[in-house]
Amino acid sequence: VVEKSSFYETAAWGKLDQPSFINIALAVQTILKPLEVLHNALSIETELGRIREDKWGARYIDIDIIFFGNDIVHIPNQLSIPHPEMQNRKFVLEPIAEIEPHLLHPVLKKTVSNLLFELQDNLEVKKI
């Protein structure tokens, strides 16, 4: 782990009748390939008790790969990097902007700061 953001609390997203979410962004340096990182992340989720039942349901942990350097990865039904909805989610952009504000989205060609500035998402994201 090279950098980590503060913790952020947000109201539930996707399915609203559930507890608030806690979000954090990590910048990690690795020699692993994207699919290897995904498999490791899924293993960590399973070890911590994650059960994949409801797509938008409450979960103890959810690890997403938002960026992988400047790489663009698309493996149908497995992995898309950059995360295809990140630019629409304040709870994703806010923590990343704290640690990597000038990180350039390799598809949209905009920095994380610019994406956050242009965002129309009104969801409250509170640093805790």
pTM for the model: 0.86
Average pLDDT, integer, range 65-86:
94
Average pLDDT, integer, range 44-66:
75
User: Hey, which residues are catalytic here?
Assistant: 50, 59, 62, 64
CB atoms near residue 23 (< 10 Å): 23
Q: Can you spell out the DSSP letters for 19-87?
A: PPEEE--EE---SS-HHHHHHHHHHHHHHTT-----TTS--S-------BTB--EEETTTEEES-TTGG
Would you say residue 31 has pLDDT above 70?
A: yes
Residues 6+ apart with CB under 8 A from 91: 8, 10, 13, 21, 23, 123, 125
CA 92 from chain centre, in angstroms, equals 5
Would you say residue 57 has pLDDT above 60?
A: no
Average pLDDT, integer, range 115-123:
89
CATH code at 3-127: 3.30.70.560
Would you say residue 14 has pLDDT above 80?
A: no
pLDDT digits (tens, 9 = 90+) for 85-112: 999 999 999 999 999 999 999 999 999 9
What band does 117 get if pLDDT is binned at 50, 70 and 90?
very high
Specify the amino acid at residue 9.
Answer: E
Would you say residue 56 has pLDDT above 90?
A: no
Q: Quick one: pLDDT at residue 48?
A: 84
- The domain segmentation of the chain, as residue ranges, is 3-127
